[in-house]
Amino acid sequence: MSLSIEQVLQQAVAVLSTSSDSAQLDAEILLADILQKDRTFLRTWPEHRLTNEQARQFSDLIKRRQQGEPVAYITGKQGFWSLALSISNDTLIPRPETELLVEQALQIIPQNICWQIMDLGTGSGAIALALAKERPASHFVATDIDFASLKLAQQNAVAHHIMNVHFVAAHWLTPFNAELQLDMVVSNPPYIMSGDPHLKQGDVRYEPERALASGKTGLDDIRLIIKQSYTQLKPEGWLLIEHGYHQAEDLHQLMHEQGFISINNLRDYGNQPRLSLCQKKDKR
Ligand code: GLN
């Protein structure tokens, strides 16, 4: 006799609870993915029976999760803002705290004026695509140093019919030597100290280190982004950077030294300093 949704979920949660602190959620997402239904279906039809093939597939996915692989890499999907994004282990898994950057940028970008905006190190395209969808009048360029990430981000743009983002292979703003006169630069760069034990723990182990770690202090890339952005922004243009919870003062200092003004720092939903923003001086 084949097993019901309720039964396989119970077994899976028992297996995962020793290795994952979100065992119930993980099991539900993986099962919903196999059944190609949403999680509400699982709650509504707990007595629905799986085919043997589905049960076998589910147990394979549970094994992968038990060994530590992040749910988002197993399903190849992650929700961010209003978008269901395809992801792969070439990119960081978009985090809920990064929605703070999107929320803040949207407070600044006007609705019906064409701003020129760059997203540096776009990964799966999460930030650029969320902003571009909300601000169709603006034009976005999203860069990444990794071709596989750019391809994925582009696929996400196509899947969501987002036409106002262009993707360019670049290491931050290095290849752009003319003044771009940008209205805004946004970035969620790597900012963890290389050698930080956090890199060897949990889901983070599976993510590309190039997207996470940035030198001894974690500030190597941020330093470069602040410097290069100043050159490429127009007067009064904005820079928004996500960073580690202990880096707000460092960013303030670096932004100030570069000549940025209106420097501000915002906390994420976990009440950790997570985003710094500033403006290039006007011409006066
Ligand atoms: N916030 C992420 C973490 O601590 C890191 C993201 C990043 O480096 N941009 O896992």
* 153-190 pLDDT per residue, tens: 999 999 999 999 999 999 999 999 878 999 999 999 99
State how far the Cα of 157 lies from the Cα of 161, in Å rounded to an integer.
6
User: Residue 242: enclosing H or E segment and its boundaries?
Assistant: strand 233-242
Give the residues across from 266 on adjacent strands. Answer: 275
CATH 1.10.8.10 maps onto the chain at 5-68
Cα→Cα distances 134→31, 78, 102, 161, Å:
32, 19, 10, 12
Q: Which fold has domain 78-279?
A: Rossmann fold (3.40.50)
Nearest residue (CA) to ligand 1, atom 9: 190
Phi and psi angles of residue 144, each rounded to the nearest 5 degrees, phi first: -155, 155
Query: Is the predicted pLDDT of residue 128 greater than 80, yes or no?
Result: yes
Neighbours of 85 (CB within 10 A): 26
Confidence of residue 284 (pLDDT cuts 50, 70, 90): low
User: With helix as H, strand as E and coil as C, how does 204-257 read?
Assistant: HHHCCHHHCECCCCCCHHHHHHHHHHHHHEEEEEEEEEECCCCCHHHHHHHHHH
Mean pLDDT of the chain: 96
pLDDT at site 95: 95
For the Cβ of 281 lying below 6 angstroms from any atom of ligand 1, the answer is no
* 57-84 pLDDT per residue, tens: 999 999 999 999 999 999 999 999 999 9
Nearest to 190, CA basis, from 142, 242, 148, 236? 242
**Average pLDDT of the segment spanning 208-218:** 95
pLDDT at site 86: 97
CATH 3.40.50.150 maps onto the chain at 78-279
Q: What is the CATH number of domain 5-68?
A: 1.10.8.10
State how far the Cα of 44 lies from the Cα of 135, in Å rounded to an integer.
37
Phi and psi angles of residue 136, each rounded to the nearest 5 degrees, phi first: -65, -20
Distance 212 CA to ligand 1 centre (A): 6
**Average pLDDT of the segment spanning 261-280:** 96
Distance 278 CA to ligand 1 centre (A): 21
**Average pLDDT of the segment spanning 242-265:** 97
Distance 181 CA to ligand 1 centre (A): 29
Atom of ligand 1 at shortest range from CA of 213 = 8
Query: Is the predicted pLDDT of residue 45 greater than 80, yes or no?
Result: yes
